[in-house]
Amino acid sequence: MKDARAETLRLFDLVREIDLRESPGFGFRPVIWHLAHIGVFEGYWILQKLFGENPLDERYDRIFDPINTPREDSKNLPSRREMENYLTRVREKIFRYLDESDFGGENPLMRDGFIFRMVLEHEYQHQETLAYLLHMLSPEKKIRPQARSPLNILSTLARDMVIVPAGQFEMGAREDSFVYDNEQPRHAVELPAFKIDRLLTTNEEYARFVDEGGYERREFWSDEGWQWRVKENWTCPLYWKRYGKSWRAQTMFDEGELDSQHPVTGVSFHESEAYAHFMNKRLPTEEEWERAASWDFRSETKHRFAWGDTEPNSLLCNFNFNFWGTTPVGSFPAGASAAGCLDMTGNVWEWTSTPFAGYKGFKAFPYPEYSEVWFDGDHRVLRGGSWATRAPLLRTTFRNFFRRQFRIAFAGIRCASDA
């Protein structure tokens, strides 16, 4: 928890406080709002719900409650120093309780440290959300941190589809480790054979869709997707700009020529679906994605990560802000799944065609606002993680979800088709 907090504060150090107090776009809270919200969430669940304490500051509980406080009421916020003082007070009380806690009792919030894992992963998720918001700010407002050296493009990789054989596999997570309610219960799924792209869709491939009129050709788009395209005047992915006959793109810390072999990102579900239709393919279902990512066909067992059960490292995938951006597709051959797909862990999230909903037997725990309230038919499931995802959230059962028109996530495309 201490390491996660240090990582959070380092993200805020990339931008001056005056810029952190800006809303990066219409409908978004100021970036700095997320700093205190992380502490309020911790304090509510651990100090109030678990140990029966009163709120440390009722004003914070009100201002930094994302459910009951409208975004337009998030303007007159405390200073960063005041927020950090609040975070310190919350943590001091939590650590006192942590030293005396019994993780083997009957309270489901305490069992195996569930509540502490939950607030830790909540902070990890907000770190990635912060990265989305920081990306929206112009590059000159940010300080570039140290990152690993860029990787060489593996140009010899086959840009083909792999055939995933028909069969049954176990979908979802077991109950013997921390997971969210929407990852359970584990259940058997029978699938026919299907094909799925070995590699993520690259900027070069997506640019062909754009250059051949993909955004103007109604036949590739669903009715709702076309309505959004027209309403928002989408003509290319978010952060792309055309200069003459070439494309440039804004990355986290600069703007430059489009990296042709990096995965396309800044695309909504609607754009991803239209591209798949352009390619005479489709987006994979969530079930297809998880089978291709997690299932070992020889041993008939499920893996926690695409390559197996070894914890993620910099030789296996692009994660944990290691490169502060995407890497060329296929740069981590050691991280291939048993099906032969690359980059199924990290780099960019992958849109699936599946609406976000509970598995059969779903039970909301510990609160419906994490999952259940979003079972609305409007959200689609994304899988795999991105370059800004922390290691625990890279598990092959983790289900991310966004509205179909959402574009600011580090999300890309892997197409599928019937076998």
| Domain range summary for the chain, segments of one domain joined by + | 2-141, 160-419
Mean pLDDT of 383-409: 98
Segment 255-280 shows an average pLDDT of 98
CB 379 within 8 A of CB 371: no
Q: Which residue has the higher pLDDT, 180 or 1?
A: 180
**pLDDT range class, residue 225, cuts 50, 70, 90:** very high
Q: What's the rounded Cα separation, in Å, for the pair 351 and 329?
A: 16
Choose the weakest-confidence range: 30-39, 154-163, 352-361.
Answer: 154-163
Cβ neighbour number for residue 67 with a 10 Å cutoff: 7
pLDDT reading at 71 higher than 80: no
Angle between helices 203-211 and 269-278 (to 10 degrees): 80
Location of structure tokens 């890309």: 412
Sorted by sequence, the CB contacts under 8 Å of residue 291 that are 6+ apart come out as 164, 169, 171, 189, 191, 339
- Spatial CB neighbours of 208, under 8 Å, sequence gap ≥ 6: none
pLDDT of residue 14: 96
pLDDT value at residue 111:
82
CB 321 within 8 A of CB 388: yes
- Find all residues with CB under 8 Å of 154, minimum gap 6, and list them: 328, 330, 331, 333
Q: Predicted confidence band at 72 (pLDDT cuts at 50, 70, 90)? A: low
Domains 2-141 and 160-419 share a fold: no
Summarize the confidence of residues 337-353 as an average pLDDT.
98
Distance CA 327, CA 73 (A): 38
Q: What average pLDDT does this structure show over 29-33?
A: 93
Alpha-carbon Rg for the chain, nearest whole angstrom, is 21
Q: Which fold has domain 2-141?
A: Four Helix Bundle (Hemerythrin (Met), subunit A) (1.20.120)
Asked whether the predicted pLDDT for residue 20 surpasses 80, the reply is yes
- 201-224: average pLDDT: 98
**Residue, of 243 and 153, whose pLDDT is higher:** 243
Share of residues in the chain with pLDDT > 90 (%): 83
CA nearest neighbour of 237 among 197, 198, 259, 210: 210
Whether this model's pTM surpasses 0.85: yes
> Strand locations in 161-245, DSSP E?
161-164, 167-171, 187-191, 194-197, 240-243
How confident is the model over 331-354, as a mean pLDDT? 97
Q: Report the share of the chain in percent with pLDDT over 70.
A: 96
Would you tell me which CATH number, out of the four given (3.30.565.10, 3.10.450.100, 1.10.287.610, 3.90.1580.10), belongs to the domain 160-419? 3.90.1580.10
Give the pLDDT of residue 179: 95
